[in-house]
Structure 1
């Protein structure tokens, strides 16, 4: 029997308390919806680094994992990710950044790129929680040029807009079904 690749597998992550930090409303909603379909308990979403830190401080004893956008309204999420890593909380980056735009020390963190399918989010979260490192390439080649950084930011913003468009179209199609 073939399964629909867009639907997450249910049950494997049941009860997992997952911190969500994503600054784009529709993308955050898609993450929350996907986590709930997998019987996870989403904490958040936080749309700023400060809000995510506050959630961590209030929920840290209860957190089992985190799904983080790397850029929260212009602020890198790495300080939060460092705290989570120190506490042994698995992290999944959901980002528009390509691997080469991520600093070397963070390339071994599990990551999926936007736009993403719900099943990909769940499978990647399962992998992050497994304790196995991501297949990243730690290294020192990091995008440092201002021009390149601005180009990457433009691409990331465009990708977020495309992701939001896909979410809106999917919701519209589901409402139109008899």
Structure 2
């Protein structure tokens, strides 16, 4: 199998997280779990651009980006039919009201929980 074929078999992920160290940790966890991070954003404007234009299979969205709601990004992903999970330290009550009931990933991240929820979300590596 060529490197290009391997790359295509790994689910592509967009990571939206405003805290650099958390974003780096999450990217490492994703790579270790067999995912490929194809774009990451720490600011809402970058996240919106990636949500509209980037080629990925699923996304992880921090609910609060430096005081701004990630809800506009989630709306774009819903319009594109792309699955996503919210990352929050506040549980479901921290989600934008219109997105309550969507999958959530509890902070601090644990490898097992991350792998499990992404596998359910997109049929990725278990």
TM-score, normalised by the number of residues in structure 1: 0.60
The within-5 A match list for 1:74-113 is 74-113=67-106
Cα distance in 1 for partners of 2:52, 2:95 equals 26
Q: How many residues align?
A: 115
1:42 to 37, 41, 51: 37
Partner residue of 2:28 out of 33, 43, 68: 33
TM-score (ref. length: structure 2): 0.83
Aligned Cα RMSD in Å? Answer: 1.5
Q: Is the Cα–Cα contact under 8 Å of residues 88 and 94 in structure 2 kept in the other structure?
A: no
Q: Tell me, what secondary structure is at the counterpart of 1:128?
A: helix
- Cα distance in 2 for partners of 1:90, 1:58 equals 15
Q: How far apart are 1:103 and its partner, in Å?
A: 3.4
Name segments (4+ residues, structure 1) moved above 4 Å.
none
Where is the strand percentage greater, Structure 1 or Structure 2?
2
Structure 2 unaligned blocks of 5 or more:
1-8
DSSP 3-state at the match of 1:94: strand
68-77 or 119-128: which moved more?
Answer: 119-128
Q: Which runs of 5+ in 1 are unaligned?
A: 1-13, 131-178
